[in-house]
Structure 1
Amino acid sequence: MSARSDFDQIIGDVTAAIIGRALDQNLETYLNKAYPAAGGAFRTLAKACEAGIAEGWLCNREHGGIRFGRIIKPSPTSGHFSVDVVLMDNIVGPHHRHPNGEIDVIMPLDPGAQFDGRGAGWLVYPAGHAHNPTVTGGKAIVLYLLPDGAIEFT
């Protein structure tokens, strides 16, 4: 399989498993158990993201030292989630709010790299959460699923 087909398959599996679920701590716990950072699906997704960045179909834009890009728009096929991927290296991103919440997949490229204080794994923010996305300790890829693609930069 190609990196893109691996990427699409795993994202499809994840979104199918979480359709209709509340974005809360229970979902975060579920995702970290069902798709653990040390597991095959997570590792395959991380490798697909690395390949996608190298091949230019992921993170094909850059602003303020952050590479980013929306790879999947919200649709019935994606469970009404958009899928965006960012590549950040010891940087604080622009403040924004998630009116419908956010699901993050944190994939450190450097040992000790963290996103918003968290290492490899899944992080779920509830509806209304606002933050400055921050990567410390090195470089990390962060994939995020946004219900209906909703994000408000402040």
Structure 2
Amino acid sequence: MGERPQTPEGFVTHLGVVTDAIAGAPLDDALQARLNRDFPADGAWHADAREWVLRGCEEGWLCGREAGGIKFGRAVPAGEALAGMSVDVVEMTEIVGPHHAHPNGEIDLVIPIDLGAAFDGQGAGWKVYGPGSAHHPTVTGGKALVLYLLPGGAIEFTRG
């Protein structure tokens, strides 16, 4: 079995534009609004992020594992490169994922593949969950890729 290809530095640098801009900000509705304003789904940054994520899935450095109909994988561990955040990407199609909690919060970049696909009700763009939140991640309306930033890399799978 071959090793997973390395995550390209260009991908990390691209995401660093966002993590540097929001470092230290509370994970709340105001941050979600700010991200959707400053890095909108119809903007150049989002278009480039989409291309990076599609390329990563194709080349195998993203979504390299699969369980329960969901492809997933951690692309970047939490560390200084991204203001203490880790990066994971999931590919989901019309599915409810496993319940989990976000001890430090979660910042999601939603990238619909199918027109009308949404993650927890959010189409293309950003969804922010505050510290201590929990959910069953759900994609409706087709296939979507979701890139999520976890402060400290913290996530707890639960039985909720």
TM tier, smaller: over 0.9
2:105 is equivalent to residue 97 of structure 1 = no
**Is the contact between residue 96 and residue 151 of structure 1 (CA under 8 Å) also seen in structure 2?**
yes
**Root mean square deviation of aligned Cα:** 1.2
TM-score by length of 2: 0.92
Which of 96, 104, 122 aligns to 1:118? It is 122
Does the CA-based 8 Å contact 1:6-1:44 persist in structure 2?
A: no
Structure 2: gaps of 5 or more residues:
1-6
Any unmatched runs of 5+ in structure 1? none
Q: CA deviation at 1:5?
A: 4.6
Q: Cα 1:56–1:65, aligned 2, differ >3 Å: closer, same or farther?
A: same
User: What do the CA deviations read for 1:73-123 (whole angstroms, capped 9, x no partner)?
Assistant: 111221110000000011110000001110000000000000001100001
Q: Percent identity?
A: 55
Q: Secondary structure at the match of 1:21?
A: coil
In the alignment, the residues of structure 2 paired with residue 53 and residue 35 of structure 1 have an alpha-carbon distance, to the nearest angstrom, of: 22
Contact 1:6-1:45 at 8 Å conserved across structures: no
| SS of residue paired to 2:30 | helix
Partner of 2:144: 140
Residue identity in the other structure for 1:113: A
1:82 counterpart SS class: strand
Tell me if the contact between 2:100 and 2:134 (Cα under 8 Å) persists in the aligned partners. Answer: yes
Following superposition, which runs of at least 4 residues in structure 1 exceed 6 angstroms of deviation? none
- Preserved CA contact (<8 Å) 2:12 2:82: no
Residues 8-35 of structure 1, C-alpha deviations (whole Å, 9 max, x = no match): 2221111111111100111111111110
